[in-house]
Amino acid sequence: MRQRNVKNKKEIINNSKYIILNPNDYCGKWKSLFNNSNPIYIEIGMGKGDFILGNALTYPDINFIGIEKYDSIIALAIKKIDKYELENLKLIRMDALNICDVFNKEIDKLYLNFSDPWPKERHAKRRLTSNVFLEKYDNIFKKDKIIEMKTDNQGLFEYSLISFTNNGYKIEDISLDLHNSNVENNIMTEYEKKFSSKNNRIYYVKAQKKQ
Ligand SMILES: C[S@@+](CC[C@H](N)C(=O)[O-])C[C@H]1O[C@@H](n2cnc3c(N)ncnc32)[C@H](O)[C@@H]1O
């Protein structure tokens, strides 16, 4: 995502009611932070937050956590999200490489939307669906491992299908043209709005690994 510098980004982050500044302290205890036993869904690489906000508003009985690596980007998401009063949404500014320090067997679903494709082979390990990340995700799920992914990048999509399969996932649902299939209640991301308006095809997959 193109990053423009956001003035006062640290201040915006430090003062947001949604940001968890010490996420490692809640490892294994996110349920207690939400004060309920509802399922917890996370999105890695939430960008400016449209998807996670839309989900939190639509599904009050699910807890959502949005994760983003960059201060400036999450600051833009906070500006949008802070206007709402939502008990079922938290945000974390971190690199997903450290995900195992933050969650331990407590996540019900992971969303990966329009993840950076890292097209060069030498950067393949940085893809959020590489073995490096899929092995880490194994530790965060409560029971069955469920990953839902959307992208307009055919190369990343094909790579991810192979990576999911090599890591023991089964493909539960797939669309090679999400916006021309019968999916209901699709909540769009910023990138999805941008690319679908250019008539790019949107790929979707739901992969699951049973416990
Ligand atoms: C291409 S953008 C897509 C944003 C949003 N999901 C959407 O669909 O509009 C990818 C986002 O993932 C974030 N990201 C990439 N690698 C990450 C990582 N290792 N940990 C957390 N966020 C990451 C980037 O900073 C960027 O905001």
Residue 28 confidence (pLDDT): 97
> What confidence score (pLDDT) does residue 183 get?
77
Q: Which atom of ligand 1 is nearest to the CA of 46?
A: 6
Pocket test for ligand 1, best of 2, 102, 114, 153 (most atoms within 8 A of CB): 114
Name the residue at shortest CA distance from atom 24 of ligand 1: 45
Phi and psi angles of residue 131, each rounded to the nearest 5 degrees, phi first: -55, -40
pLDDT at 4: 78
Active site residue 116: yes
Residue-level pLDDT at 69:
97
pTM reported for the whole predicted model: 0.97
Q: Average pLDDT for consecutive 10-residue bins of the chain (211 residues)? A: 80 96 98 97 98 98 98 96 97 98 98 98 97 98 98 98 98 96 91 96 97 82
